[in-house]
Amino acid sequence: MKSRVAHPSWIEVDLGQFRKNIGLVREHIGKALYCLPVKANAYGHGLKEIGREAEAAGVDYLGVAHLQEGIELRDAGVKIPILVLGAIHEDQVDELIEHRLEFSISSKMKADFVARRCQGKCRVHLEVDTGMHRTGVRSSTAIELMRHLRDLKVFDVVGIYSHFATSGDAFSQKQMESFQTLLEEPIFKEQQLIRHIANSSGIMHFRELDMVRPSLITFGYGQLGVAPCFTLKSKVSYFKVVEKGEGISYGHTYVTKKKTRIVTVPIGYGDGYRRALSNRGHVLIRGKRYPIAGTICMDQFMVDVGDDAIFVGDEVVLIGKQVSEEILLTEIAELCQTIPYEILCQFNSRLPRVYL
């Protein structure tokens, strides 16, 4: 599925690598069901394409944050179960059912409004808060809510789940234990529920329950031999020679130390390439690292290439590999004082996704 790139900057997604990652995670999780959360445009990789590819590669479930993401996947022809992880609103119930989306029930109030609107059966997962304190019913009231769901008849409770607040430490151990203690209650053992809690970090630290929800590692960030399938690219759009002592870009925060060549790269914070990388980040051109010179503008920024012969049209790699050099996602995230997740999801629709 190669498409021609007319836009000066784009994201390449290597679907072959994505499939390899799925295979590696699959091997690790054994018999557990594989739910791939694809929220936030599949961590920036493209919701529809990743959803379809994951389905084709044998992933069992997709996870989304909101109704709209689930509808997009159904419209893209995805048939496997989709679980809406985020809390739902009353006015979404009809569409959730219409699009065969499974969703989370995390309070009696939500159960009641669903029951009022739902004709037929709704497939739901009971969400339990074991320490994240975001959404989910407290463990202590989970039994009561489960009874209530059974009484209401419209619910087909297919799963029960929780979510870790931390990564492989004593607290996540505590969460795991309190979840397992709850699961020992007869009401949760009487019927076969899909029990799930682990995200990417969770699958590295805990034995699988019935299902896992590892996303970041499926996109290639983590252990198990996975590799990223995401490369951010652009092409040099302009070139000039600048004398010693000249300021570059808004505010002249970069001043040339000698006569040098400055090239322009047509991507900026308007695409999601963070301004925090001004004078700090690097890019790859012709297999070599060069520093960003001056502040990043909305649509472009400059790079100091010294005396090197770089030409208009040369490919620029901003995240990913070029020849034997690599700019890691973690390097960009650290420079921006954030986590890799945030960097991946912030690239917007101005950047076309190209699938290899």
Ligand X SMILES: *Cc1c(COP(=O)(O)O)cnc(C)c1O
Question: Which residue, 118 or 216, has its beta carbon nearer to ligand X?
Answer: 216
Q: Which of 214, 220, 320, 340 binds ligand X (CB under 6 A)?
A: 214
Q: Which of 130, 139, 172, 200 binds ligand X (CB under 6 A)?
A: 200
- 314: its two tokens: 């040369």
Q: Per CB under 6 A, which region of 148-156, 211-219, 253-261, 343-351 contacts ligand X?
A: 211-219
| Nearest one of 151, 144, 112, 150 to 128, comparing CA atoms | 144
- Least distance to ligand X, CB of residue 350, Å: 24
How far, CA to CA in Å, does 191 sit from each of 106, 131, 135, 146? 19, 25, 24, 11
Task: Provide the residue count of the chain.
Answer: 356
Catalytic position from the list 39, 110, 233, 235: 39
8 A C-beta contact, residue 263 and residue 305: yes
The C-alpha angle 352, 355, 356, rounded to 5 degrees, equals 140
Q: In 2-148, where do the E strands start and end?
A: 9-13, 33-37, 61-64, 82-84, 102-105, 122-129, 137-138
Q: Is 175 in the site for ligand X (CB under 6 A)?
A: no
Question: What amino acid is encoded at 299 in this protein?
Answer: D
Q: Is 232 in the site for ligand X (CB under 6 A)?
A: no
- Least distance to ligand X, CB of residue 99, Å: 19
Site for ligand X in 1-40 (CB under 6 A): 37, 39
Q: Which of 9, 106, 175, 215 binds ligand X (CB under 6 A)?
A: 215
- Least distance to ligand X, CB of residue 36, Å: 9
Q: Which of 9, 41, 130, 199 binds ligand X (CB under 6 A)?
A: 199
- Least distance to ligand X, CB of residue 178, Å: 17
Site for ligand X in 295-354 (CB under 6 A): none
Residue 316 CA from chain centroid, whole number: 24
Q: Which of 45, 163, 233, 274 binds ligand X (CB under 6 A)?
A: 163
8 A C-beta contact, residue 328 and residue 318: no
**Phi, psi of 162, rounded to the nearest 5 degrees:** -145, 180
274 vs 98: CA distance, rounded Å: 39
Number of residues counted as binding ligand X (CB under 6 A): 10
Question: Which residue, 152 or 165, has its beta carbon nearer to ligand X?
Answer: 165
Question: Which residue, 215 or 234, has its beta carbon nearer to ligand X?
Answer: 215
- Least distance to ligand X, CB of residue 15, Å: 19
Question: Which residue, 215 or 278, has its beta carbon nearer to ligand X?
Answer: 215
- Least distance to ligand X, CB of residue 221, Å: 8
Catalytic position from the list 79, 244, 250, 258: 250
Question: Which residue, 84 or 263, has its beta carbon nearer to ligand X?
Answer: 84
Question: Which residue, 213 or 233, has its beta carbon nearer to ligand X?
Answer: 213
- 155: its two tokens: 């619910």
Q: Give, as one character, the DSSP assignment of residue 121.
A: -
> Catalytic site residue 39?
yes
- Least distance to ligand X, CB of residue 204, Å: 10
13 vs 84: CA distance, rounded Å: 25
Q: Which of 24, 62, 84, 85 binds ligand X (CB under 6 A)?
A: 85
**Pairing outcome for strands 282-285 and 288-293:** antiparallel
339 vs 184: CA distance, rounded Å: 36
Letter string b/e over residues 298-312, b meaning 16 or more CB atoms within 10 A of that residue's CB = ebbbbbbbeeeebee
- 294: its two tokens: 């001056």
Q: Is 213 in the site for ligand X (CB under 6 A)?
A: yes
Question: Which residue, 129 or 271, has its beta carbon nearer to ligand X?
Answer: 129
Looking at the annotation, which residues are catalytic?
39, 250
**Contact set with ligand X (CB under 6 A):** 37, 39, 85, 163, 199-200, 213-216
